Structure 1
Amino acid sequence: MLNKKFSPARQSAFDARFDAQKIAFGPVVFQCVRYAWKRGILQAVADAGDAGRSTAELKAVGGWSEYVLKVVLETCLSAGVVYLEEGRWVLDKAGFVVLTDPITQVNIDFNHDVCYQALFDLERTLDAERPLGLKVFGDWSTVYEGLAQLPEPARTSWFAFDHHYSDVSFPAILPDVFATRPRKLMDIGANTGKFALAALGFDAHVELHAVDLPGQLAVLDGNLAAAGLRERAVLHPTDMLDDAAALPGGMDLIWMSQFLSCFSEDAIASIFRRVATALAPRGQVLVMDTFWDRQRYDIASYCLINTSPYFNNLASGNSKVYESGDYIRLARAAGLELQTARDGIGYCHSLLRFVRAENG
């Protein structure tokens, strides 16, 4: 387990005051940098290389008014996205990252298209522990009920965010999934079927059981049919928040990826109890998730920690990005013991393997 330290222990009073102002004006900086990226201003600056471009030259290239260029680029200057050299705007390193780094772009789109308006209600949501920010998109109790109906561009940005962090991990973990040669594999929180399709393609003999809400399973059903894999899958429409919703038994392996973080600790405890009951005698549970305490770099922990307000304000009202110890503790209470843990998967995932306590 890693202990993270995000700032120097002896920060000066001046630096602390500057950092506090960055927090105060964070929303302003975010929107201006996003505008400069989306409207092509940063690209126009980048195209000039180290020579840079003057405000007048940028105006001639892109048709932006001098006023807009100054407002936006001066904010970008304050954020280290561009710098000024003899009256010419030049792309700085942070600007290069915004223009070229897929993770940064996915995070910006997710925070703008999905989270930004909703975050205005974060104070009320935290007090109520209900996702009150979700009302900007629809009348649902959780975002998962409305994923199939999310308006654009929120829907595209939500799935891009979800898939970008999880898809890259699937090829790396399939040998772990099939290490015990499971014949009956359950995917809880199957979503649109990225893992299901990968698993069915990896092993021609496995029988896959997909568990999710009806809306997500309808999308999965179509994706399986298009891939010619529908007959090897059994779909189980299930609301996992319903404590009485039992799972089919006899499973050799139960897989949950970026799923438990969608729920409160009480709900996770309930899910672990039902998962333990659904296992075959020698069955195992694999949980892949993004734990902020198991990251190698502060930047990954920073991004994960600051995803928790999304879970509070839009997803469920009472979920978050957890520490790995929380899962291990809740699984143990359900009769499951941690057998192995593997970190450094994909961008920021860890894989926890659980067995029944009597098998440990």
Structure 2
Amino acid sequence: MDTKQPKKYRYDKEIYTALDAITEAQKIAFSPILFQAVLCLRNKGILAYLDQFHQQGVKIEQICENIALSPYAIQLLLDVALSMHIVYLHNDHYILAKIGHYLLHDKMTNVNIDFTQDVCYEGMQYLEQALVEGKPSGLQVFGDWQSIYPYLSQLPTKAKKSWFEFDHFYSDSSFPDAFKQIKSLNPQHIYDVGGNTGKWALFCANQDPNIQITLLDLPQQIKLAQENIQAAGFASRITGYPVNLLSAVSLPNQADLWWMSQFLDCFSEAQIIAILSLIHASMKNDAVVCIMEMFWDRQPFEAGALSLNASSLYFTCFANGNSRFYHSKTFYQCLNKAGFHVEQDIDGLGLGHTLLICKKR
């Protein structure tokens, strides 16, 4: 099966006039500074206060009476907000604009903001080093680590909270749609490869009392997941198999369905092929491999493609230095090299997820 036609995101021609282009260039030049200003607008309650007044707006004097910042600080932040079109000014009244509304109320936007601030912001100054060396150089702000994944539990409290909220926000939204597809395959035993905190396994166990699930992940992640599984009362049906997929030479082979959700994007293309080849060699001949990923070329809106390509820089700077959110064509190539063919290719799950249902060739 060939990959589907990519979405059209206007990447094939110039879209700006010269004047618009130089304005966009200034936004980029000052973007780290503007980002911090947005955090202040949100965190100090200015956006929430303006939101109370809807289209009527409110004057600066009243804002100063109700926000715990000096008039200097408030005016400065509002001027920045005007330049960013977060607010607009009508008859001396500040009114929350659509961008301000989404900065305040949109869950995805706030998850992305917190992840950027708490996990990525400080270490992203080492992005160039990470790109040159192929190593997650930004991790040095947290510890002397080779990859973030074995040390997630050791991240500072805010960074850990924002990391898991970011990860779970995108994955959890796809679970109901994904399970409908998985249920139609009638699995009895699922291997959840890269099971993380066990949320998918718990979702499956809650949906179907007959399914057995085994998590295959790093020992540190298995320990974390098992705490959640025991607390939920599913220890008899969800078990763990500690393994490093990059160094393992064999895997168990009892499952009839192998599940990977937002897992393979944590690896380079060569590593993806190696992991898929290991699974191919280990699995039963009639078993099914289900891969759920967010491909930047499959997003229904350009904002999704932008978010995924931006998030890929996190993988470069913090995860391992050589992974990303991929173009779907890349996964087709990796699957082919590992001996698989794609039987079903399903877009539109959750927040822009794609499910690839694969079998051995």
Q: TM-score, normalised to structure 1's length?
A: 0.96
Q: How does 1:27-42 map to 2 (within 5 A)?
A: 27-42=32-47
Q: TM-score, normalised to structure 2's length?
A: 0.95
- The aligned residue for residue 148 of structure 1 is 153
- The answer to whether the 8 A contact 1:184-1:208 is kept is yes
Q: 2 CA distance for matches of 1:168 and 1:278?
A: 30
Q: 2 CA distance for matches of 1:212 and 1:6?
A: 39
Q: 2 CA distance for matches of 1:108 and 1:279?
A: 40
Q: How does 1:9-158 map to 2 (within 5 A)?
A: 9-158=14-163
| Cα deviation, residue 332, structure 1 | 0.9
| Cα deviation, residue 106, structure 1 | 0.5
Among 249, 257, 261, the alignment partner of 2:261 is 257
| Shift in CA distance, 10/304, structure 1 to aligned 2, threshold 3 Å | closer
1:261-309: per-residue Cα shift (whole Å, max 9, x none)?
Answer: 0011111011100111222121110000100011111111111111110
Matched, 1:280 2:284: yes
Matched, 1:334 2:338: yes
- The answer to whether the 8 A contact 1:238-1:245 is kept is no
Q: How does 1:165-184 map to 2 (within 5 A)?
A: 165-184=170-189
Among 228, 236, 244, the alignment partner of 2:241 is 236
| Shift in CA distance, 213/329, structure 1 to aligned 2, threshold 3 Å | same
Stretch of structure 1 that moved more, 170-179 or 158-167 = 170-179
Runs of 5+ in structure 2 lacking a partner?
none
Q: 1 CA distance for matches of 2:301 and 2:55?
A: 30
Q: 1 CA distance for matches of 2:295 and 2:275?
A: 18
Aligned AA (1:149): Q
Aligned AA (2:346): R
Aligned AA (2:198): G
1:33-65: per-residue Cα shift (whole Å, max 9, x none)?
Answer: 111011101111222222222222111112311
Among 297, 304, 312, the alignment partner of 1:300 is 304
| Cα deviation, residue 206, structure 1 | 2.0
| Cα deviation, residue 313, structure 1 | 0.2
Aligned AA (2:325): V
Q: 1 CA distance for matches of 2:107 and 2:249?
A: 39
- The aligned residue for residue 205 of structure 2 is 200
| Cα deviation, residue 152, structure 1 | 1.6
User: SS where residue 80 of structure 2 aligns?
Assistant: helix
Aligned AA (2:63): L
User: SS where residue 288 of structure 1 aligns?
Assistant: strand
CA RMSD of aligned residues (A): 1.3
User: SS where residue 209 of structure 1 aligns?
Assistant: strand
Q: 1 CA distance for matches of 2:184 and 2:326?
A: 27
Number of aligned positions between the proteins? 356
- The answer to whether the 8 A contact 1:208-1:234 is kept is yes
Q: 1 CA distance for matches of 2:149 and 2:249?
A: 17
Q: 1 CA distance for matches of 2:233 and 2:157?
A: 29
Runs of 5+ in structure 1 lacking a partner?
none
Aligned AA (1:307): S
**Percent of matched pairs sharing the same residue:** 37
User: SS where residue 133 of structure 1 aligns?
Assistant: helix
Q: 2 CA distance for matches of 1:321 and 1:64?
A: 40
Among 323, 328, 332, the alignment partner of 2:327 is 323
Aligned AA (1:116): Y
User: SS where residue 49 of structure 1 aligns?
Assistant: coil
- The answer to whether the 8 A contact 1:58-1:64 is kept is no
Among 262, 267, 275, the alignment partner of 1:271 is 275
